[in-house]
Chains A and B, each alone.
Chain A
């Protein structure tokens, strides 16, 4: 089934995902990373991603990055002019005035460069899926104009992708948050603070004839404000602290500066979940007096004081965006966060203070846009409608078996429709009917669960316990209707019952039951152990009684007495709830009856071998070979 992938083609990093059923999956590239740097290097061969970044220093003129700032723009554009001063590669005008680049002496359109990145994302998806990928949804900033959108689409085409849709990044984020499932109209603020840029958008989701339409009301931002600026602020502070301690300036040692940079980024991330962190850099540098170490404790409060101004810089564009949309902060129904830097508690606080409500952050902010694109891709491929039909059964379904235990047949959270069968048997000798008691719940004790229904299967031919084969089947259809049937495999006789979904439990009841089961897990475990011990004991009593009966002429007085005593004591113990007592009595009865069992077994095997030797042609032997029927499946016993 052809998949439509979703690609977040970012300025610094790109990310590709695909829908698997109802879940979006972010795909790792061949380097094992979930995002790929948006860097393309031209040389002997074209390199994309980490390998392009690694060689940037050796090949600065031909290593192209942040191409997103150029795609679809004219060379005379202000942004392009600003970029020219900042990047090491040549930006040139094309014949029609578009902004192009030059690498390895060749003139290239930004579309071609972006296509290299898209090619890598395509291959990443193909390697994962094991099939060709021809269609994609690609995201662009909300402020992109027609020319920029078309250029992005062209880049896709060059990469061999049929771009089914170009969607706005804030819209994709909203899809990732499932905001297209809401009722009525909603106003959403998307706060996107990534590595290099800040974008804020106000979008409106309108419900029109059951469909959801997305409209961007306004956008604003700061294209030179991002997580990297936060890192720089911290690095500078730490370099200063080290200088105070040691008199040495780490800026003069590029290797040391690298380590400091990595340590600062790591600490920044740690401080999002901890109140303090420590910079620990042994042998950071050396001077004539020897090696120097740098150890410095960093509190969240300190970090916040260093970056507060940066966070405050995001407020003004947000205010303007609201104003342009003609809204007040209180008019916004949902605020969603996109971009790694939004993980910082200070950022979340400021956003909360501004909008007067907590922002949604339950979707991975680095991947939300890519996920949203994948969702859109799945909708366009027609996959999503199928998925919506699939439900899960919220609680375990099963029947009551010997000892008052609930034996599950369909586990909770199983996707429906589904069916499951299991073979059971009788609990007593000559039991001619079985009761199928259908239960719903998570407790081990049958009585602690909800009864959904009950029926009997009768006319089972009289036989020793454990011999009949009763097949119990549970069939749960897509509408949640449960059909339970019991069939005697020998006679073919069958009984069944239909249980409608409405006779089950409400959502609250379900939640409560799951919680109860967890709370009682210990109790349930003890109960299960007791029942197992009891069942074992009862089986032993039964088989010993039977053996005594069959071998009554072979067993002597003293032995017979000890076995009978053992049976009596075990039967007494079985009446109690004392597992240890039952175990003890089972052990002593087993020991008492072992010699007899052994004797009988030896006799039987001797008889077998002598029979084989006889080979009587006159047919005088009275011995009839008994048919052994091995029921291979595990059997549970049933109460009548």
Chain B
């Protein structure tokens, strides 16, 4: 890239670019930007000004209080998200361990143990509002599911979930981690 035309940015003045023919709202901008008023104000105007500023400042305080309270509530409810995401990976691995268990007495014992562990784990998550996302027989919903690929399948409605590659979880009213799924599509017309 070669040297371009100099572009001026001035936080207090100036427009989009030097050749500003496209900018037809110049006059509006100028009015809003005058913060350094050199004109002498009468005491009455000055008082009006101050009253206005005072009201605004008070209103701002109210706003800040309200937002602060909101944020605290939100932080309390959703603050565990990043930690929860880490733990989801642990849960994934426990499920994989279960899936890889083959037949055999010893293995059955271990498998049962893992299944119970998984149950306890999901109960703990539930107590904080974290639950697995239901996928069985569901149609694909991008708010909750992430499509990894599409496979032709005419036995199902198009956009149905065929397989879940990774379980998803929701926290309260949000998606914590979308389910990674394979989605069905109509076979190509030959």
Measured between alpha carbons, how far is A217 from B3 in the docked complex, in Å?
8
Say if the beta carbon of A617 comes within 8 Å of chain B. Answer: no
Q: Is the CB of A382 within 8 A of B32?
A: yes
Residues of chain B with a CB closer than 8 A to A167's CB: 9
Measured between alpha carbons, how far is A290 from B2 in the docked complex, in Å?
58
Categorize the interface residue count of chain B.
Answer: 35 or more
Q: Is the CB of A214 within 8 A of B4?
A: no
Q: Is the CB of A153 within 8 A of B16?
A: yes
Q: Is the CB of A146 within 8 A of B16?
A: yes
Q: Is the CB of B145 within 8 A of A291?
A: no
Q: Is the CB of B8 within 8 A of A283?
A: no
Return the CB mask of B48-63 against A: 1 if under 8 Å, else 0: 0000010011011001
Q: Which of the residues B33, B53, B67, B149 comes within 8 Å of A128, measured between beta carbons? A: B67
Q: Is the CB of B13 within 8 A of A146?
A: no
Q: List 22 A-B contacts (CB under 8 A).
A: A1-B60, A20-B64, A54-B143, A54-B145, A57-B148, A129-B63, A130-B66, A146-B17, A149-B17, A167-B9, A168-B9, A171-B9, A211-B10, A212-B12, A214-B10, A221-B1, A255-B148, A283-B93, A283-B99, A290-B100, A379-B11, A382-B32
CB distance from B99 to the nearest CB of A (A): 8
CB distance from B7 to the nearest CB of A (A): 5
Return the CB mask of B140-160 against A: 1 if under 8 Å, else 0: 101101111110000000010
Additional A-B contact list (18), CB under 8 Å, known A54-B143, A168-B7, A255-B165: A32-B174, A50-B178, A53-B146, A54-B145, A56-B147, A58-B150, A58-B159, A143-B1, A146-B16, A146-B22, A167-B9, A216-B4, A283-B93, A283-B97, A283-B100, A376-B11, A386-B53, A386-B57
Q: Which 5 A-B pairs have the closest CB atoms?
A: A283-B96, A55-B142, A214-B9, A54-B142, A291-B100
Residues of chain B with a CB closer than 8 A to A215's CB: 6-9
Return the CB mask of A403-414 against B: 1 if under 8 Å, else 0: 000000000000
Measured between alpha carbons, how far is A376 from B3 in the docked complex, in Å?
26
CB distance from B58 to the nearest CB of A (A): 11
Interface residues of A in 1-49 (CB under 8 A from B): 1, 20-21, 30-32, 41, 47
Residues of chain A with a CB closer than 8 A to B150's CB: 57-58
Say if the beta carbon of A220 comes within 8 Å of chain B. Answer: yes
Q: Is the CB of A150 within 8 A of B6?
A: no
CB distance from A283 to the nearest CB of B (A): 4
Q: Is the CB of B7 within 8 A of A216?
A: yes
CB distance from A390 to the nearest CB of B (A): 10
CB distance from A325 to the nearest CB of B (A): 8
CB distance from A496 to the nearest CB of B (A): 26
Q: Which of the residues A21, A58, A142, A211 comes within 8 Å of B12, measured between beta carbons? A: A211
CB distance from B26 to the nearest CB of A (A): 12
CB < 8 Å A-B pair total:
143
Return the CB mask of A372-383 against B: 1 if under 8 Å, else 0: 000010011110
Measured between alpha carbons, how far is A130 from B70 in the docked complex, in Å?
10
Q: Nearest A residue to B173 by beta-carbon distance?
A: A30
Measured between alpha carbons, how far is A493 from B23 in the docked complex, in Å?
66
Q: Nearest B residue to A208 by beta-carbon distance?
A: B10
Q: Is the CB of A150 within 8 A of B96?
A: no
Q: Nearest A residue to B10 by beta-carbon distance?
A: A213
Say if the beta carbon of B166 comes within 8 Å of chain A. Answer: yes
Interface residues of A in 245-299 (CB under 8 A from B): 254-255, 258, 282-283, 286, 290-291
| B residues neighboring A (CB under 8 Å) | 1-4, 6-17, 19, 22, 29, 32-33, 35, 53, 56-57, 59-60, 63-64, 66-67, 70, 78, 81, 93, 96-97, 99-100, 102, 140, 142-143, 145-150, 159, 165-166, 174-175, 178, 180, 183, 185
Q: Nearest A residue to B96 by beta-carbon distance?
A: A283
Residues of chain A with a CB closer than 8 A to B147's CB: 54-58
Measured between alpha carbons, how far is A214 from B32 in the docked complex, in Å?
20
Interface size on A, residues (CB 8 A): 65
Residues of chain A with a CB closer than 8 A to B96's CB: 282-283, 291
Measured between alpha carbons, how far is A268 from B184 in the docked complex, in Å?
35
Q: Is the CB of B142 within 8 A of A217?
A: no
Interface residues of A in 115-138 (CB under 8 A from B): 128-131
Return the CB mask of A48-69 against B: 1 if under 8 Å, else 0: 0011111111100000000000
Residues of chain B with a CB closer than 8 A to A57's CB: 147-150, 183
CB distance from B34 to the nearest CB of A (A): 9
Residues of chain B with a CB closer than 8 A to A465's CB: none
Interface residues of A in 50-92 (CB under 8 A from B): 50-58
Measured between alpha carbons, how far is A214 from B9 in the docked complex, in Å?
5
Residues of chain A with a CB closer than 8 A to B66's CB: 130
Say if the beta carbon of A180 comes within 8 Å of chain B. Answer: yes
CB distance from A547 to the nearest CB of B (A): 49
Q: Nearest B residue to A376 by beta-carbon distance?
A: B11
Residues of chain B with a CB closer than 8 A to A254's CB: 148-149
Q: Which of the residues A180, A282, A324, A325 comes within 8 Å of B11, measured between beta carbons? A: A180
Q: Is the CB of A219 within 8 A of B146?
A: no
Measured between alpha carbons, how far is A83 from B1 in the docked complex, in Å?
18
CB distance from B189 to the nearest CB of A (A): 17
Q: Is the CB of B3 within 8 A of A150?
A: no
Q: Nearest A residue to B149 by beta-carbon distance?
A: A57
Residues of chain A with a CB closer than 8 A to B70's CB: 128
Q: Is the CB of B93 within 8 A of A142?
A: no
CB distance from A146 to the nearest CB of B (A): 6
Q: Is the CB of A142 within 8 A of B178?
A: no
Residues of chain B with a CB closer than 8 A to A55's CB: 140, 142, 147
Measured between alpha carbons, how far is A20 from B66 in the docked complex, in Å?
13
Q: Which of the residues B53, B99, B142 comes within 8 Å of A51, measured between beta carbons? A: B142
Given contacts A54-B147, A283-B96, contact A31 B175 (CB under 8 A): yes
CB distance from A305 to the nearest CB of B (A): 28
Q: Nearest A residue to B180 by beta-carbon distance?
A: A258
Residues of chain B with a CB closer than 8 A to A376's CB: 11
